[in-house]
Amino acid sequence: MVAPLHIQKEITTGLKINEIYNEDCLIGMHKIKDNSISLILCDLPYGTTQNKWDCILPLNDYIKIEIKIKNKMKEMCLNKEDYKIYCFDNNINSNQFKINWDKNSKLGLWSHYNRIIKDNGAIVLFGAQPFTSKLINSNIKNFKYDWTWSKTKGTGHLNAKRQPLRDKEDILVFYKQQCKYNPQFSKGKAYDGAARAGKKHQTSSYGEHGQFREKNDGKRYPRQILKFDIVGRGSLHPTQKPVDLLEYLIKTYTDENEVVLDNCMGVGSTAIGCINTNRSFLGFELSKDYFDISQQRISDAMGK
């Protein structure tokens, strides 16, 4: 699977399409050209486990500082508002705040995402509370709607006596303007109902509309709840997403031969979904162990 040369030239500087790179995505995304990615599909770290890799990435532009906590120095990433509060609490004046920010601040995820996504592209991100709320609030302007992945099995059995088992995850959709949307129809029973008679209709929610006939060939538009099996036994990553769910989202928001970015690729499931649906992919994965697994899975999927 090789992306056409013109696509490779349009997308990156120094990177190849249909490759995953073992590097920090906040560094690697600098090499992706503006307005070049059709879909960003990513399962970001939620920050809800003790795994070393499960640290929330800086969502907005940030500055790194060292703070003393319990007699130990800890490096933290603060967004502009939080850094402003930090400066106020530590008697750093507004002029020095501005100098420090202008000199030392770095781009967060949204600065990269908004630069590289096409005008009609979607940014589709997995989440679970409380990370879901944090993610939405980090870019409330471009948040449009969500899906719910309904799982076949619940998790969180150690807390079963204190709270319900977790059997869903959120899928959040962001875009700057109406994105490409290819509804994945399900099959139902066809019907041909009677035409609605009378004058033009008026509803409080949608306004005035004309007469229409209730006729359907059996196609059913998708609803927000998506039911897919979890990966279960044999999973290669603690938060591994099912390939068929990723394929569903890839087909919903892209056409064939378009490019999908997953900047936290894990074990390469998004890449497998792209291969299976004839899309191109580009990804980053910081963990060398998971990167190596993704390379083997992609090689197997391509029949190498």
- Cα distance between residue 59 and residue 83, in whole Å: 14
**pLDDT surpassing 90 at residue 200:** no
**pLDDT surpassing 70 at residue 18:** yes
What is the residue type of 222? Answer: P
> For residue 242, what pLDDT is reported?
93
Residue 173: which residues within 8 A CB-CB, separation 6 or more?
122, 123, 124, 143, 144, 145, 146, 147, 179
Residue with tokens 């090689």: 299
Most confident region among 58-67, 224-233, 252-261 by mean pLDDT: 252-261
**pLDDT surpassing 80 at residue 58:** yes
- Cα distance between residue 199 and residue 211, in whole Å: 7
Q: What residues are paired with 37 via a beta bridge?
A: 117
Least confident of 14-23, 75-84, 171-180, 203-212: 203-212
pLDDT digits (tens, 9 = 90+) for 19-57: 999 999 999 999 999 999 999 999 999 876 667 777 889
Read off φ and ψ for residue 60, nearest 5 degrees.
Answer: -110, 170
What is the rounded (10 degree) CA torsion for 286, 54, 150, 18? -10
pLDDT digits (tens, 9 = 90+) for 73-88: 888 899 999 999 999 9
**pLDDT surpassing 80 at residue 230:** yes
pLDDT digits (tens, 9 = 90+) for 283-299: 999 999 999 999 999 99
> For residue 6, what pLDDT is reported?
54
Read off φ and ψ for residue 246, nearest 5 degrees.
Answer: -65, -40
pLDDT band, very low/low/confident/very high, at 8 (cuts 50, 70, 90): low
**pLDDT surpassing 80 at residue 16:** yes
Domains of the chain, by residue range, sit at 5-58+109-184+223-301, 62-105, 186-221
pLDDT digits (tens, 9 = 90+) for 88-138: 999 999 999 999 999 999 999 999 999 999 999 999 999 999 999 999 999
Question: What's 163's DSSP letter?
Answer: S
**Rounded to 5°, angle at Cα 136 from 133 and 141:** 150
Whether domain 5-58+109-184+223-301 has CATH 3.30.110.40: no
SS3 245: helix
Query: What DSSP element (H or E) covers 125?
Result: strand 117-127
Mean per-residue pLDDT over the chain, rounded? 88
pLDDT band, very low/low/confident/very high, at 156 (cuts 50, 70, 90): confident
Asked if residue 275 lies in contact with residue 302, where contact means CB atoms within 8 angstroms, the answer is: yes
Average the pLDDT over 207-227 and give the result: 78
> For residue 9, what pLDDT is reported?
59
- 281-294 core/surface letters (b: 16 or more CB in 10 A; e: else): bbbbbbbeebbebb
**pLDDT surpassing 90 at residue 216:** no
